[in-house]
Amino acid sequence: MYTVKMSQTVTQRPWVVIPTYNERQNIGQLIDGLLALPVPNLMILVVDDHSPDSTGEKVQSYKDTDRVHLLDTGARIGFGASYQRGFDYAVEHKASAIIHMDADLSHDPVAVPDLIAGLADADVVIGSRYTNGISIVNWPMIRLFISLGANAYARIVTGLTARDTTSGFRAWRSDALTKTNYQAMKVDGYGFLIAMLFAAHRNGSSIAEVPIVFTERQAGKSKMSKRIMFESFLLVLKLRLNPPARS
């Protein structure tokens, strides 16, 4: 049973951080879904890499609600660097918890309260595609094999026990997030997500998983490249050989 005091502290000021590049077709539906949640104090930060499709302008159309913030990075700084900027922003705004998720509606906002509730018992909660069998809608078989293989590889090499080490849908207690020293990580894409989880594991943060249903994007284009996948493969080896110092 959750202790009321603990969950109240964490739920006081949660921020959702969403990196975007050309997500104009998706971002409105995502923001609407988040604003409709029974979490009235949930704050939303979109970190947009100055998308040419004017994703930023779409976010700005929500300026009447002070719950939606836009951080325009001014150029394509990348997924990992956008998260670094976004986390800094949320921490500066005294976030009690930080949730991060993709903009392409693969991550259903309806799961956000479950992730936040999980923080009563854990420092990090992963929205996991692989804790309840396999909960993925509309993925080609090859994509599933690559994801399962990447997860098995990351677990074996790093010693992480989570089933879904590359999920981009997670909730963090602010102190656990800060303790990862995420600013120092110089990796992009899935590698950034694995590095953060590994740092949390090394710091002794408790990591839990709650099942989510992941749905393949319907609109817009994927930005994750083979280069990013290869970099992530190398990063996992580097983490094993040269782990970050414990804090």
Ligand X SMILES: Nc1nc2c(ncn2[C@@H]2O[C@H](COP(=O)(O)OP(=O)(O)OP(=O)(O)O)[C@@H](O)[C@H]2O)c(=O)[nH]1
Taking the C-alpha atoms of residue 152 and residue 108, their distance in angstroms, rounded to an integer, is 25
Residue 162: which of 192, 196, 113, 114 has the closest Cα?
A: 196
Residues β-bridged to residue 216: none
**Is there binding between residue 106 and Mg ion (CB under 5 A)?**
yes
Indicate the residue whose CB is closest to Mg ion. Answer: 104
Report what 23 binds from Mg ion, ligand X, none; CB cut-off 5-8 Å by kind.
Answer: ligand X
Give the binding-site size for ligand X (rule: CB under 6 A): 19
**Is there binding between residue 222 and ligand X (CB under 6 A)?**
yes
Burial class of 36 by CB neighbour count within 10 A (0 to 12, 13 to 18, 19+): exposed
Min dist CB 86 to ligand X, Å, is: 8
Sketch the per residue contact string, 153 through 182, with ligand X: x for CB under 6 A, - otherwise. ---------------x--------------
Report what 21 binds from Mg ion, ligand X, none; CB cut-off 5-8 Å by kind.
Answer: ligand X
**Is there binding between residue 192 and ligand X (CB under 6 A)?**
no
Indicate the residue whose CB is closest to ligand X. Answer: 222
Q: How far is CA 247 from CA 97, 116, 243, in A?
A: 20, 24, 12
**Is there binding between residue 96 and ligand X (CB under 6 A)?**
no
**Is there binding between residue 76 and ligand X (CB under 6 A)?**
yes
Taking the C-alpha atoms of residue 228 and residue 158, their distance in angstroms, rounded to an integer, is 19
Helices (H) and strands (E) in the chain, counts: 9, 9
Contact 168, 193 (CB under 8 A): yes
What residues line the site for ligand X (CB under 6 A)?
Answer: 19-21, 23, 47, 49, 76, 78-79, 82, 102-104, 106, 168, 217, 222-224
What residues line the site for Mg ion (CB under 5 A)?
Answer: 102, 104, 106, 217
